[in-house]
Amino acid sequence: MEVEPRSGPLAGQVALVAGGTRGATKAIAVELGRAGALVHVTGRSTRGAPSPMARPETVEDTAEEITALGGVAHAHGVDHADPAAVAALVHEIAARHDGKLDLLVNGIWGGDPMSDWEHPFWEQPVEAGLALLRQAVHTHIITAAAVAPLLVANGRGLVLELTDGKAGDPYRGTLYYDLAKDQVTRLALGMAGDLRPHGVAAIALAPGFLRSEAMLDHFGVTEATWRDGIAQDPHFAMSETPWPSFALTWESTLGASAALAALGGRPRRPRAFLAPLPFGRPGPRPRRRPRRAGAALPPPC
């Protein structure tokens, strides 16, 4: 028998958080569970079977963290580049909840091993670049296409696409990474247009330069000592943690508040908001200074 989630503003809602093993997507999964949603969280990294990211975090860790907070979560080891595996996942969720699904968080990434920050595009293997796009963009399309029929049938809901930056941003410094992040933003725009007549919203959320688990390891620091990393790269001063209560930040932004209203079933037509929304401690974000040609870039987040 399904355990009822704790009470909260999202009690009774069912969420699928794709790619919720670590970083911002994990933080969102945890906060959704804290807010009362029943969370299905997926990732390629499972106990005893790490993904090519070769990280210690697992999808089971995320589910257990939600459970420890009094929420309800189910962990699924899924490769979202496999349409059959995604279809089976969505079928399982639909069967478990009588076709109900309220929220898709598309936070799949896994592109770090394929991102080349040292060479221009013509010196990079095309196969590696296309593999990055397969992992970081095609997975989002595969997952959204499988989930959309449930949202449309319910006549309400939200698709949240996690990305970096916003439309029209300057070049990010390496071609395939730039394409991946830009295409996910554009994906949210297209999905919003198709889903709007059915009462479903789609937005893109750009968390910014995050102090994820991998980023802290990259700089050899912890969340408590992160400022020590600024000596290695001044850009690290602009980084933010994914872990302050996401619910507070979510409510503090116009676009996300409208998305929550759509998710909560308030009687108004959802809209698409395609701008980077603050993620981390509320307050003004530092401006990124324009980079000169050839300037050092921060590591990918």
- Cα 33 to chain centroid distance, Å, stands at 15
Q: What is the DSSP letter of 272?
A: -
Tell me the C-alpha distance between 102 and 262, whole Å: 10
Numbers of helices and strands, H then E, in the chain: 9, 6
> What pLDDT does residue 242 have?
77
From the options 3.40.50.970, 3.40.50.300, 3.40.50.720, 3.40.50.1000, give the CATH code of 14-218+245-263: 3.40.50.720
Nearest in space to 110 (alpha carbons), one of 212, 254, 258: 212
To which H or E segment does residue 43 belong?
strand 38-43
Per domain, the residue ranges of the chain are: 14-218+245-263
> What pLDDT does residue 5 have?
56
pLDDT tens track, the chain, 301 positions: 455 556 788 999 999 999 999 888 999 999 999 999 999 999 988 888 887 777 878 999 999 999 999 999 999 999 999 999 999 999 999 999 999 999 999 999 888 888 999 999 999 999 999 999 999 999 999 999 999 999 999 999 999 999 987 777 889 899 999 999 999 999 999 999 999 999 999 999 888 787 888 888 889 999 899 999 999 999 889 888 876 544 444 443 333 434 444 454 443 443 333 333 333 333 333 333 333 334 343 344 3
**Cβ-based neighbours of 206, under 8 Å, separated by 6 or more:** 162, 163, 164, 165, 166, 185, 275, 276, 277, 279
CA atoms within 13 A on the CB side of 230: 9
Structure tokens at 236: 């690290």
